[in-house]
Amino acid sequence: MIKKLGLVILSLTLLIGGCAEQKLLEKIGLITLAGYDLNEDGKVVTTAVIRQVDQEFQSMVTTSSAVNDSSLGALTEINRKTTKKLMQGQMRITLFGETLATEGIGSFLNTLSKNSSTSSGILLAMTAGNAKELLEYPYKNINDVGQEIYKLIEQNVDAELVTSSTLHEVSQDYYSVGRDMIIPIIERKEEVIEVTGVALFNKDKLVGQLPAKDSFYLLLIRGKFKSGKFETTIPGDIFSSNQSDSSEPVPVVLDTISSTKKLKLTDKNVPEFELQINLNGRILELDAEMDFDNPVEIEKLEKAINQSLTEELKSILDYCQEINSDVFGLGKQYRSQVRNSKLTHESWHAKYPTAKVNIKINFKILRSGVFE
Amino acid sequence: MKNVIHVKPQQMINAFLVFFVVHTTQIGVGIHGFQRIIYQESKQDAWFSVLVIGIVSHVIVIVMIKTLEMYDSHDLYGINREVFGTWIGNFINVIYFFYCSVAFFSVLINYIEVIQTWIFPLLSTWFISATLLLLVIYTFLGGLRVIVGVSFFSFMLAFWLIFVLVFPLQYSDPQSLFPILESKFIDILKGAKAMTFTIIGFEILYIIFPFVKDKKNIRKPVHYGLLVTTLMYLAVILVSLTYFSGEQLSKTIWATLSLFSIVQFPFLERFEFLAVCFWMLIILPNLCLYVWAAHRGLTGMINISAKKFIWLFSCIVLLLTFFIKSRIQINSINNIFGQVAFYIVFIYPLFLYVLALVKKKLTS
Amino acid sequence: MGTPKFMSKMRIEKNAKTYSRKKEKMGRSPMSNKFFKNMFKKKESKQQAQSDSSSLKNKSINNHSHDKKLISPDKAKFISLIEKESNNPSDLKTKFITEDYTLFYIENLVDSRVLNKHILPVVLKNPNSSPSELKFQLQIPEANMTENLELAILELFSGAALIHKNGYPTVLLAKINTRESRSLSAPENESQVIGSQVGFNESLSTNESLVRRYIRTPDLYIKKLTVGKISNTTVSILYLKSIASEEMVQTLQQRITDLKIDALLDSSFLAEMIDDNSLSPFPQMLLTERPDRFCDGLLNGKLGILVDGSSMAVICPHSFIEFFQSREDQNLRWPIASFLRLLRFSAVFLSIFLTPLYVAALTFHYEVIPQSLLVPLSESRALVPFPPIIEALLLELIIELLREAGARLPTKVGQTIGIVGGIVIGTAAVQAGITSNILIIIVALSALASFTTPSYMMGNVIRAIRFPIIILAGFWGFYGIMLGFCFLLIHLIKQSSLGTPYTAPFYPPRWVDWRDSIIRLPLPLTNLRPTSSRAKKRKKYEEEPIDPEKS
By CA distance, what is C473's nearest residue in B?
B277
A240 in the same domain as A127: no
What's the pLDDT score for residue B1?
43
Instruction: Tell me what the pLDDT averaged over chain B comes to.
Output: 90
- CB distance from A93 to chain B under 8 Å? no
CB contact under 8 A, B135 and C494: no
By CA distance, what is A52's nearest residue in C?
C378
By CA distance, what is B114's nearest residue in C?
C479
Most confident of A36-45, A238-247, C169-178, C463-472: C463-472
- CB distance from B171 to chain A under 8 Å? yes
What's the pLDDT score for residue C238?
94
Q: Does the pLDDT at position B239 exceed 80? A: yes
Q: What is the mean pLDDT of residues B71-94?
A: 89
- CB distance from B120 to chain A under 8 Å? yes
ipTM exceeds 0.90, yes or no: yes
Q: Is C432 exposed, middle or buried (0-12, 13-18, 19+ CB in 10 A)?
A: exposed
CB contact under 8 A, C369 and A28: no
By CA distance, what is B179's nearest residue in A?
A336
CB contact under 8 A, A339 and B175: no
Is A14 a member of any domain? no
- CA B24, distance to chain mean position in Å, is 7
Please tell me the total count of domains within chain A.
2
Q: Does the pLDDT at position C551 exceed 80? A: no
- CA B350, distance to chain mean position in Å, is 19
Contacts with C479 from chain A: Cβ below 8 Å: 20
A39 in the same domain as A170: yes
What's the pLDDT score for residue C210?
92
Identity of the residue in C370, C485, C506 whose CB atom sits nearest the CB atom of B266: C370
- CB distance from C487 to chain A under 8 Å? no
- Counts of helices then strands in chain C (DSSP H, E): 23, 12
Q: What is the mean pLDDT of residues B150-163?
A: 93
CB contact under 8 A, A119 and B270: yes
Mutation for C interface: A49, A53, A148, most C CBs within 10 A: A53
| Residue numbers in chain A where pLDDT is lower than 70 | 1-3, 7, 10-19, 54-59, 224, 237-247, 288, 369, 371-372
Distance (Å, rounded) from C-alpha B274 to C-alpha B281? 12
What's the pLDDT score for residue A158?
85
Q: Does the pLDDT at position C40 exceed 70? A: no
Q: What is the distance in angstroms between the Cα of C45 and the nearest Cα belonging to chain B?
A: 14
CB contact under 8 A, C493 and B150: yes
Own/partner pairs, C189-192, CB within 8 angstroms, 24+ separation = C189/C289, C189/C456, C190/C288, C190/C289, C190/C290, C190/C293, C190/C454, C190/C455, C190/C456, C192/C290, C192/C326, C192/C327, C192/C328, C192/C331
Q: Chains A, B: CB contacts under 8 A, how many?
A: 83
Closest CA to C293 of C273, C315, C276, C271: C315
Q: In chain B, which among 31-70 make CB contacts under 8 A with chain C?
A: none
Domain end call among A172, A190, A212: A212
C402 contacts C415 by C-beta, under 8 angstroms? no
Q: What is the mean pLDDT of residues C401-418?
A: 80
Predicted confidence (pLDDT) per residue in C286-341, tens digit: 999 999 999 999 999 999 999 998 999 999 899 999 999 988 888 899 999 999 99
CB contact under 8 A, B153 and C489: yes
CB contact under 8 A, C33 and B146: yes
By CA distance, what is A1's nearest residue in C?
C31
Q: What are the sequence ranges of the domains in chain C?
A: 75-175, 204-330, 333-497
Residue A347 sits in a domain whose CATH number is 3.30.300.210
Identity of the residue in A16, A25, A119 whose CB atom sits nearest the CB atom of C366: A25
- CB distance from A20 to chain B under 8 Å? yes
A151 in the same domain as A237: no
- CB distance from C278 to chain A under 8 Å? no
What's the pLDDT score for residue A64?
81
For A243, phi then psi, to 5°, come to -90, -20
Residue that wins the pLDDT comparison between C472 and C382:
C472
Q: Does the pLDDT at position C387 exceed 80? A: yes
Q: Does the pLDDT at position C488 exceed 60? A: yes
Contacts with A169 from chain B: Cβ below 8 Å: 171
Q: Which residues contact B328 (CB under 8 A, 6 or more apart)?
A: none
Q: Does the pLDDT at position C9 exceed 50? A: no
Q: Does the pLDDT at position B305 exceed 70? A: yes
What's the pLDDT score for residue C61?
40
Q: What is the distance in angstroms between the Cα of B138 and the nearest Cα belonging to chain C?
A: 8
Quote the domain boundaries for residue A109.
23-212
For A211, phi then psi, to 5°, come to -65, 160
Q: What is the mean pLDDT of residues C164-180?
A: 83
A252 in the same domain as A152: no
- CA A259, distance to chain mean position in Å, is 20
Identity of the residue in C377, C380, C382 whose CB atom sits nearest the CB atom of A55: C382
Domain end call among A212, A235, A263: A212
Q: Which residues contact C480 (CB under 8 A, 6 or more apart)?
A: C356, C360, C469, C471, C472, C473, C474
Q: Which residues pair with B64 in a beta bridge?
A: none
Residue that wins the pLDDT comparison between C119 and C546:
C119
Is A13 a member of any domain? no
Distance (Å, rounded) from C-alpha A148 to C-alpha A127? 14
What's the pLDDT score for residue C17?
40
Contacts with B43 from chain A: Cβ below 8 Å: none
A356 in the same domain as A242: yes
Q: What is the mean pLDDT of residues C251-280?
A: 90
CB contact under 8 A, B123 and C368: no
Q: Mapping DSSP to helix (H, G, I), strand (E, B) and coil, where does residue C472 land?
A: helix
Is A11 a member of any domain? no
Q: Does the pLDDT at position B156 exceed 90? A: yes
Q: What is the mean pLDDT of residues C222-236?
A: 91
Helix (H) or strand (E) holding A230: strand A228-235
Mutation for B interface: A176, A264, A340, A348, most B CBs within 10 A: A176
Is A100 a member of any domain? yes
What's the pLDDT score for residue C315?
93
Q: What are the sequence ranges of the domains in chain B?
A: 9-351
Percent of chain B whose pLDDT exceeds 90:
62
Identity of the residue in B118, B131, B182 whose CB atom sits nearest the CB atom of A340: B182
What's the pLDDT score for residue A147?
86
Q: Which of A282-286, B221-225, C196-200 has the lowest mean pLDDT?
A: A282-286
What's the pLDDT score for residue C546?
63
Distance (Å, rounded) from C-alpha C197 to C-alpha C210? 12
What's the pLDDT score for residue A294?
78
CB contact under 8 A, A121 and B264: yes
A114 in the same domain as A83: yes
Q: What is the mean pLDDT of residues C370-374?
A: 85
Contacts with C370 from chain B: Cβ below 8 Å: 264-269
- CB distance from A247 to chain B under 8 Å? no
Residue that wins the pLDDT comparison between C133 and B280:
B280
For the full predicted model, state whether its pTM sits above 0.90: no
Q: How confident is the model at residue B304 (pLDDT cuts 50, 70, 90)?
A: confident
CB contact under 8 A, A119 and C367: yes
What's the pLDDT score for residue B153?
95
CB contact under 8 A, C478 and B120: no
- Range B9-351 classified under CATH 3.40.50.300: no
Predicted confidence (pLDDT) per residue in B91-133, tens digit: 999 999 999 999 999 999 999 999 998 888 888 888 889 889 9
Name the E strands within A269-338: 272-286
Contacts with B177 from chain A: Cβ below 8 Å: 336
- CA C457, distance to chain mean position in Å, is 11
Q: Does the pLDDT at position C93 exceed 60? A: yes
CB contact under 8 A, C379 and A53: yes
Q: What is the distance in angstroms between the Cα of C504 and the nearest Cα belonging to chain A?
A: 29
CB contact under 8 A, B269 and C508: no
Closest CA to A336 of A180, A177, A219, A218: A177
Q: What is the distance in angstroms between the Cα of B126 and the nearest Cα belonging to chain A?
A: 8
Q: Which residues contact B183 (CB under 8 A, 6 or more apart)?
A: B41, B42, B43, B44, B45, B48, B191
B151 contacts B21 by C-beta, under 8 angstroms? yes
A160 in the same domain as A83: yes
Closest CA to A95 of A128, A121, A59, A69: A128
Q: Chains B, C: CB contacts under 8 A, how many?
A: 107
By CA distance, what is B279's nearest residue in C?
C482
